[in-house]
Structure 1
Amino acid sequence: MFSVTYAQLNTWMTAFLWPFVRILALVATGPVFGNMSVQTAVKIGLAAFITLIVAPTLGPMPQATVFSAVGVWIMVNQFLIGAALGLTMQVVFTAIQASGEFVGLGMGLGFATFFDQQAEGSSAVLSSYLNVFAMLVFLVLDGHLQMISALIATFQSAPISGDLLGAPGFRSFVTWGSTIFSSGLLLSLPVVAALLIANLALGILNRAAPQIGVFQIGFPLTMLVGMLLLQLMVPNMIPFFARLFDSGIERMGVVAAGLR
């Protein structure tokens, strides 16, 4: 007759549950997997599948029961680590959405918004367009697989334990947030600069010939210039996105190492 002792059951649960919490936190907060359109059951199933593959390769777990005070604290630590890694990668897509906001304001499309299920609020049309384009590039470049690989590598740099998380990791994550503004502005700079020149030309034209009615032609002209430049920028966006994704994957390792 097959029998299982409490010690064996606790060993199996700790070997599965603690890595599962870290992986599930990244799946829930990271790009693509954490999208609101992905069902919760799919996220849990994906995290469980990855855990079944990864758990046997991990070292010995801390000597604590799952539902003890120490076990619950370890579970909280794993959730914080996974969420920090997922949000670190999510910053890259937030920077791309910010560039869409900057371009949309310059084109006069600040009013063109619709309800975004992911953001649970109004989102600019160009931001959503660039976000979807970036997600497609992310999947084509196997960014989702690289993100999972970086997560698995964090079990070596930040092993499962009940120690307090290090402040350098959170500090590295906070400083990484500046990428939203720097990379967003860098991506939108060509279109914003061209639209600024177009607006200056329209201002000069309005002073030179007020009878032309610059307010009637200004909006269609700026929109036409913006759309044309976005079309010309598409081939150059892919290498830019690739560098951003690589930086995000690298930052995940830095954050994980700083948490220990």
Structure 2
Amino acid sequence: MLELSDSQIGGWVSSFVLPLFRIAAFLMTMPIIGTQLVPTRVRLYLSLAIAMVLVPTLPAMPQVEAISLGSLLLVAEQIIIGALMGFILQLFFHAFVVAGQIISMQMGLGFASMVDPTNGVSVPVLGQFYLMLVTLLFLAMNGHLVVFEVLAESFVTLPVGGGLLVDHHWEVAGKLGWVMGAGLLLALPAITALLVVNLAFGVMTRAAPQLNIFSIGFPLTLALGLVIVWIGLADILAQYQVLASDALQLLRELVRAK
């Protein structure tokens, strides 16, 4: 009969299960993989596969008892770190969603909404378009590989049992306000152009009161808004590169990676 000591069980728990919790928490919260489009079972299998590859290369883990308060605290620590990493990536993706929603409201396309299959909520179709666009750009430029590299490096720079640096993480959290600013910056050219269009309609109404501005203004604003969005897509790659660099740098600062 095979007998296992508490130290052996604790060693297995600390060497495999603790890194697994950080990896699983990250995959459950990150964009693309952590959405409803990917079944939970698939995410769990992917977490196990990544853990099996990374565990042999990781530094020594602290020895803990299998069932104790210390092990539970370490598990909670790993879940918090993984969830924070996934949350930063979610904010990066939703900056483009916010930009699409702002532009939709300004051009009168806010009523055209669809159910977002990734989150299960109803969003303007233009925001969904920007979300699919940034997803394709993220995958085409191997952003997912960079993210997995940062995840693997986090076990060295922020080892299991090293504790959470509250001051450091609060400093990183203070930089998360760039998301709303990034969304506004993406939508600013379209908002400015649509403001000029609305001012022109106001001048037309003042000069020719007999014109029914409501019957001609709405379709023209919608059509010109689509043209403005089409023109703005020519510069979307440069804007994506800047925001992606900021998001990945913030992710590295979170785990103190170089």
TM-score normalised according to structure 2 size: 0.93
- Which residue identity is paired with 1:109? L
1:86-113 Cα distance to aligned partner (Å, 9 max, x none): 1011111111111011101110122222
CA contact 2:31–2:89 (8 Å) conserved in 1: yes
1:157-179 Cα distance to aligned partner (Å, 9 max, x none): 1100063x222343234323312
| Equivalent residue number for residue 132 of structure 1 | 132
| Structure 1 residues 51 and 45: CA distance shift in structure 2, 3 A | same
Q: How far does residue 29 in structure 1 lie from its aligned partner after superposition?
A: 0.6
4+ runs deviating over 4 angstroms: 1-6
Determine whether 1:67 maps to 2:67: yes
| Structure 1 residues 129 and 113: CA distance shift in structure 2, 3 A | same
- Which residue identity is paired with 2:152? I
Determine whether 1:97 maps to 2:61: no
1:184-212 Cα distance to aligned partner (Å, 9 max, x none): 11111111100000000001001111222
Q: Distance in 2 between matches of 1:172 and 1:96?
A: 24
Q: Which has the higher contact order (CA 8 A, sep 6+)?
A: 1
Q: Distance in 2 between matches of 1:169 and 1:81?
A: 13
Q: Distance in 1 between matches of 2:87 and 2:183?
A: 17
Q: Distance in 2 between matches of 1:174 and 1:57?
A: 30
Q: Distance in 1 between matches of 2:100 and 2:176?
A: 17
| Aligned-pair identity (%) | 31
Q: Secondary structure at the match of 1:123?
A: strand
| Equivalent residue number for residue 44 of structure 1 | 44
Q: How far does residue 9 in structure 1 lie from its aligned partner after superposition?
A: 3.6
Q: How far does residue 67 in structure 1 lie from its aligned partner after superposition?
A: 2.1
Q: How far does residue 41 in structure 1 lie from its aligned partner after superposition?
A: 1.0
- Which residue identity is paired with 1:48? L
Q: How far does residue 6 in structure 1 lie from its aligned partner after superposition?
A: 4.6
| Equivalent residue number for residue 208 of structure 1 | 207
Q: Secondary structure at the match of 1:88?
A: helix
Determine whether 1:228 maps to 2:227: yes
Q: Which runs of 5+ in 1 are unaligned?
A: none
TM-score normalised according to structure 1 size: 0.93
| Equivalent residue number for residue 76 of structure 1 | 76
List aligned pairs for 1:118-157, cutoff 5 A.
118-157=118-157
